[in-house]
């Protein structure tokens, strides 16, 4: 479930699926594609490349939320204060948007547990980087040893993208599963990072080098979506997509939302189609010469609603949700 997920869900990291130009959001490669394209070419012609399988960006790469900050402990970090520390001048509109991001929560009860989607905090960057790197490597069919190298580029990318807040933001989803005890009672597991997605709201938050076909820079764009392999087929990808749409409804006056989906990703394509996205344009066959997979640019017009929460985030169609979660970042 990644960049080509039509949620702009292509992290744009890769040229093929996302690790090259952008982090492949399970859809296609938008943002980090170029650096990864060079890497891909080098690795293709030189089999002696060897990298450690562990991300070097952090010694604690466990994906449990409690190792960084639990979803409930959301009042300890302020996006507004953090922006002031950098010396940035914030307009009144930006301050209001930062407050909206601070308070944004999208909670969904699933058949196998529950999912909480909110904005990523600085202390959660390492676990998010690891999730994206693993997703990109998988989507590109690269050896596991490349994860640490990809982590380096993803870390740089997410650090740079943090400067775009509140015009773009990374969402993360924490999953809490259910287990039956010996007594037949259900008990919940600890929250664990299960997925992530990037959302751009306007021109100031747009990627500098978006993947082709190029979406309008002033329009909301979804990309770099990834779901942890062990949590797929549970409707998490579907709910990440719907949470992104809900946040866009709060943060942008524009209703046309764009995303990329690789032509080879039939499951994500079906998901996007069912979610209301339609093909706007398709890559030329000549992109294959650049070692990239052909992608669809897809668009959906969000419903105008006074209450963005009215958008369908139920994910009741679990069969379709499961297909979505099979996407590769």
Q: Which of 292, 141, 126 is nearest to 209 (CA)?
A: 292
Q: What is the arithmetic mean of pLDDT over 69-95?
A: 67
Please tell me the number of Cα atoms within 13 Å of 127 on its side-chain side: 26
Q: How far apart are CA 179 and CA 182, in angstroms?
A: 10
Q: What are phi and psi of 217, to 5 degrees?
A: -70, -25
What pLDDT score does 271 carry?
A: 86
Sign of CA pseudo-dihedral 312, 320, 12, 130? positive
Q: How far apart are CA 151 and CA 158, in angstroms?
A: 10
Which DSSP string do the residues of 273-286 spell out, in sequence order? Answer: HHTT-EEEEE--GG
Q: How far apart are CA 164 and CA 204, in angstroms?
A: 7
What pLDDT score does 185 carry?
A: 63
What pLDDT score does 267 carry?
A: 83
Model confidence pLDDT, tens digit, residues 147-158: 999 999 999 999
Q: Report residue 65's pLDDT band, with 50, 70 and 90 as the boundaries.
A: very low
What pLDDT score does 287 carry?
A: 87
What pLDDT score does 129 carry?
A: 97
Give catalytic residue positions. Answer: 272
Whether 134 has a pLDDT exceeding 60, the answer reads yes
What pLDDT score does 168 carry?
A: 95
What pLDDT score does 91 carry?
A: 87
Model confidence pLDDT, tens digit, residues 202-243: 999 998 888 899 999 999 999 999 999 888 888 999 999 999
Q: What is the arithmetic mean of pLDDT over 33-50?
A: 39
Whether 262 has a pLDDT exceeding 60, the answer reads yes
Please state which CATH number belongs to domain 90-178+190-301: 3.40.630.30
3-state secondary structure of 214: coil
Model confidence pLDDT, tens digit, residues 165-187: 999 999 999 999 877 666 656 66
For the chain, the domains span 90-178+190-301
What pLDDT score does 327 carry?
A: 40
Q: Which of 213, 216, 125 is nearest to 169 (CA)?
A: 125
What pLDDT score does 86 carry?
A: 61
What pLDDT score does 54 carry?
A: 44
Model confidence pLDDT, tens digit, residues 101-129: 999 999 999 988 999 999 999 899 999 99
What pLDDT score does 153 carry?
A: 94
Q: How far apart are CA 315 and CA 107, in angstroms?
A: 12
The encoded tokens of residue 28 equal 């296609």
Whether 19 has a pLDDT exceeding 80, the answer reads no
What pLDDT score does 291 carry?
A: 79
Whether 139 has a pLDDT exceeding 50, the answer reads yes
Q: How far apart are CA 284 and CA 214, in angstroms?
A: 12
For the chain, what is the mean pLDDT? 74
Sign of CA pseudo-dihedral 115, 121, 125, 126? negative
CA angle in degrees (0–180, nearest 5) for 136-141-142: 80
Whether 30 has a pLDDT exceeding 80, the answer reads no
């Amino acid at each position: 479930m990644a960049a080509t997920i039509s949620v702009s869900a292509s992290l744009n990291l890769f040229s093929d699926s996302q690790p090259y130009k952008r982090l492949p959001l399970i859809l296609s490669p938008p943002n980090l594609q170029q650096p990864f394209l060079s890497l891909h070419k080098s690795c293709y012609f030189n089999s002696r490349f060897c990298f450690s399988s562990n991300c070097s960006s952090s010694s604690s790469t466990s994906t449990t939320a409690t190792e960084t900050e639990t979803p409930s402990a959301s009042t300890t970090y302020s996006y507004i204060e953090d922006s002031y520390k950098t010396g940035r001048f914030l307009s009144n509109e930006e301050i209001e948007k930062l407050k909206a991001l601070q308070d944004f929560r999208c909670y969904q009860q699933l058949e196998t547990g529950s999912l909480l989607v909110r904005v990523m905090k600085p202390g959660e960057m390492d676990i998010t980087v690891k999730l994206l790197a693993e997703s990109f490597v998988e989507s590109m069919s690269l050896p596991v040893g490349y994860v640490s190298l990809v982590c380096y580029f993803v870390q740089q990318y997410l650090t740079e993208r943090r400067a775009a807040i509140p015009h773009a933001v990374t969402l993360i989803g924490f999953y809490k599963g259910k287990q039956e005890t010996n007594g037949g009672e259900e008990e919940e597991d600890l929250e664990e990072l299960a997925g992530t997605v990037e959302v751009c709201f306007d021109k100031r938050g747009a990627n500098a080098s978006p993947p082709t076909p190029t979406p309008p820079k002033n329009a909301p764009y979804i990309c770099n979506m990834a779901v942890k392999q062990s949590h797929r087929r549970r409707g998490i990808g579907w709910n990440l997509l719907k949470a992104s749409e809900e946040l866009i409804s709060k943060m942008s006056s524009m209703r046309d939302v764009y995303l990329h989906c690789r032509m080879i990703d039939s499951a994500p394509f079906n998901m996007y189609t069912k979610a209301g996205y339609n093909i706007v344009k398709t890559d030329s066959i000549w992109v294959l010469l650049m070692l990239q997979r052909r992608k669809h640019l897809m668009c959906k017009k969000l419903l105008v609603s006074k209450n963005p929460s009215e958008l369908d985030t139920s994910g009741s169609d679990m069969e379709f949700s499961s297909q979505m979660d099979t996407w590769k970042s």
